[in-house]
Homo-oligomer: A and B are copies of this chain.
Amino acid sequence: MRSGTKIDGTEKRPRGRPRAYEPETALRQAAEAFWKTGYSGTSLDDISAATGMNRPSLRAAFGDKHDIYVKALHDYWARKFEAMHKALASGGTLAETLMKVYDAALSIYFSGDDQVLGCFVVGTAITEAPGDAEIQRIAADGFRKLDGDFEARFKLARTRGELKPDADPKALALLASATMHSLAVRARAGSPRTELRKLAQKAVSVMCG
């Protein structure tokens, strides 16, 4: 949101020269550049071209290259979990819900204009993780959250009688996450979307008994 924008539409613009970009849009465009070529493979000139901002403006708005990437990474997780929670909250059987979650993920993985980019985290953060404690922590936190959300859904399924009483929600959640990781990796390796959807369906059918 532009700092001078008000809800009723009355513009209360700040003092100096107005920005020529929208921060949210620019960050999204910067993320797309990183998504394509990775953190190390993307230069500030690439980001400058992707956003239409020149380098000094980029710096003033978002900080240095690492700052931009970390902001983009947080933004990606937020979008991913928003889509996932929407799918989880939409009702339906366990199998239906899981497929909605995977379909939501595939929509993100295949959202590139020309290329298939897979998962932003798996495709870019994982490479940097061993040498960058902050990126590693953000990636790991997201994976843990994913595990927890899946586990909660499997526990609910067990109390509802959708699973046998002796089913192990934690084990099933790890397999559900593993399926997600596999989709993420394989999308970037070039597997077509229809094939990945079938993969998800087979995984769901095993997990649901």
Residues in B whose Cβ lies below 8 Å from that of A197: none
Asked if A122 is at the interface of the complex by the 8 Å CB criterion, the answer is yes
Copies of this chain held together in the complex: 2
Nearest to A124 among chain B residues (CB) is B127
Nearest to A203 among chain B residues (CB) is B175
Q: Name the segment of A10-18, A50-58, A78-86, A177-185 touching the other chain.
A: A177-185
Which of B37, B39, B170, B181 is the one whose CB lies under 8 Å from A185? B181
Interface residues on A, range: 35 or more
Which of B115, B127, B140, B186 is the one whose CB lies under 8 Å from A38? B127
Q: How far is the CA of A37 from the CA of B39 in the complex (A)?
A: 11
Contact indicator B118/A206 (Cβ below 8 Å): no
Whole-angstrom distance between the Cβ of A87 and the nearest chain B Cβ: 19
A interface residues with partner B (beta carbon < 8 Å) = 36-41, 112, 115-118, 122-124, 126-131, 136-137, 139-140, 143, 168, 170-172, 174-175, 177-179, 181-182, 184-186, 188-191, 199, 202-203, 205-207
A-B contact list, 9 entries, CB within 8 Å = A36-B130, A41-B41, A123-B127, A129-B189, A129-B190, A136-B190, A140-B186, A175-B202, A206-B207
Known contacts A38-B127, A140-B189, A175-B179; 19 additional CB pairs below 8 A are: A38-B40, A38-B128, A40-B40, A41-B41, A115-B131, A117-B130, A118-B126, A118-B130, A122-B185, A123-B126, A126-B127, A126-B189, A140-B190, A175-B202, A178-B179, A178-B203, A181-B181, A184-B185, A185-B185
